[in-house]
Structure 1
């Protein structure tokens, strides 16, 4: 077993503390916690990955199997916690969906590359579909959603072949029935000579991915017959440039797929997060996603849909 450098050990400790805090916060918010995958970190030590589930809270929730929405947090495949999407989960549970925010392995806690993150994301969707009957979920109405690196992972569950966990039943599909992407890192290699990141960062991307970046770049694997997709992206995003969202959406549509791109002027990276500024963008994107899911039959139409800010009472 390799001894970790002290700097990495300190980073790992901080990152694990953040995850422990998020775990308790999610439980306090009412999440039901289950292990969806048992795996290992880069040292071969066991890791139990958790799914934080919010069951439907509306009055009609028991009549038919519900649609599910599965969120993947952002953090550059390095950090972050599933607490990021707790507010989204509570909203969609109130709208009759089973809403799940997923823990996956990241570099700072587990020493892994992004290809392991892709594997975990696929495992999460497959776990939801495998357990659909037990969880009261319609296996044909599963939405994969996420922000930034989490948006990349959500897109990978649909567009990237391979990277499946070999011990899982791969006759059960890990592909979702819709995608909801918040400033996703969906273009990881050059497009007609244009690169999504500065040259110095682009050169290190292959190492960060653990494979050639193009192998896990959703844009470069777009084909036909992808599910409906909605993208929210800030036009002033300097972390994941807006042109990458435009290129991704355009290629989807040109291949005969349905894609809605909502661009937000003057908005930077992570603009949609709960607790960012006055929550205007959080609430606006939440309601736009709600309308998209109504349009595609994932939740029922409602005359008046309200989204809550963090301080609002339940």
Structure 2
């Protein structure tokens, strides 16, 4: 009899594992390899809304921060779950960084383009609307997101379209001007210098690109963030090109304040509000 109850308990546990996300509103997490590099495989952690929508939902491809030196997808997991509950498919992209893979920012940019291309090409498989894929990131991850939106793709990659919206949290936007170096750490400056040696510094600096096809953009900085000046220049350039941009400065806050409670969910709600204004959610 004890064996019977153990088997029955195992059946109920398995049923809860498979059906709890739909019954109780928990986002479903799926993990998929989007690229193989000489340093190893790279993965997307995709948070799916708990319930099937009547029409394909929008998606957000997001890149963590870390100065191209470090970083993990766990940085934005809480926010990803929160946004998935609201009906957005959120894909957190792993990419190469110097401390883990020994690579420079151009490799990270290449990974970002490839992650977007993968999500775009497989949108139907994930029941995602390919015309409503936003891209976002924080700090160096924001740089990657802006590069995918504005810079030339690497290795002759042909994209069917670019991201439809940018969601940028204290992004790095200028690698080219002298004043930009005042806003980087020594390790980050060394990585930017490596781009200079490769002749890629201007090419991978979003601020120096054409804004003619820039998508609607939400951008957030803490008022005490040294990168805030970059955001102000970027916003000015967007407005000069009559682009839809919302730039927010949060009083008294420093770099990456939104990674911690209570700001993490508050900022996630702000991102959802911007998507709602665009008619996405």
TM-score by length of 2: 0.84
Structure 2 residue 244 is matched with structure 1 residue 254: no
Q: In the alignment, which residue of structure 2 is the partner of 1:13? A: none
Structure 2 residue 103 is matched with structure 1 residue 121: no
Structure 2 residue 280 is matched with structure 1 residue 292: no
Q: Give the whole-Å Cα distance in 1 for the aligned partners of 2:77 and 2:126.
A: 19
Shift of 1:237: 1.1
Q: Give the whole-Å Cα distance in 2 for the aligned partners of 1:296 and 1:185.
A: 24
Name the SS for the 1:197 alignment partner.
helix
Distance 1:92 1:199, change over 3 A: closer
Q: Give the whole-Å Cα distance in 2 for the aligned partners of 1:199 and 1:284.
A: 27
Shift of 1:197: 2.2
Aligned residues: 252
Structure 2 residue 179 is matched with structure 1 residue 181: no
CA contact (8 A) 2:28 2:48 kept: no
Question: Counterparts in 2 of 1:1-314, with a 5 A limit?
Answer: 30-41=28-39, 47-58=40-51, 61-164=52-155, 166=156, 170-173=158-161, 175-190=162-177, 194-197=179-182, 201=186, 204=190, 205-207=192-194, 210-238=198-226, 241-273=227-259, 276=260, 279-299=261-281
CA contact (8 A) 1:222 1:252 kept: no
Q: Give the whole-Å Cα distance in 2 for the aligned partners of 1:199 and 1:130.
A: 35
Q: Give the whole-Å Cα distance in 2 for the aligned partners of 1:109 and 1:153.
A: 18
Q: Give the whole-Å Cα distance in 2 for the aligned partners of 1:89 and 1:105.
A: 21
Runs of 4+ in structure 1 deviating by more than 6 angstroms, as ranges, are none
Q: Give the whole-Å Cα distance in 2 for the aligned partners of 1:57 and 1:200.
A: 40
Distance 1:107 1:211, change over 3 A: farther
C-alpha deviations, 1:126-153, integer Å up to 9, x for none? 1111001111000000010100000000
C-alpha deviations, 1:73-98, integer Å up to 9, x for none? 00111111011111121112111111
Shift of 1:229: 0.3
C-alpha deviations, 1:227-278, integer Å up to 9, x for none? 100001011013xx211111111111111211100001111111111xx2xx
Unaligned runs of 5+ in 2: 1-26
Shift of 1:198: 5.8
The structure number with the bigger radius of gyration is: 2
Distance 1:195 1:71, change over 3 A: closer
Unaligned runs of 5+ in 1: 1-28, 42-46, 300-314
TM-score by length of 1: 0.75
Name the SS for the 2:145 alignment partner.
helix
Bigger fraction of residues in helix:
2
Q: Give the whole-Å Cα distance in 1 for the aligned partners of 2:87 and 2:77.
A: 16
CA contact (8 A) 1:222 1:251 kept: no
Distance 1:199 1:132, change over 3 A: closer
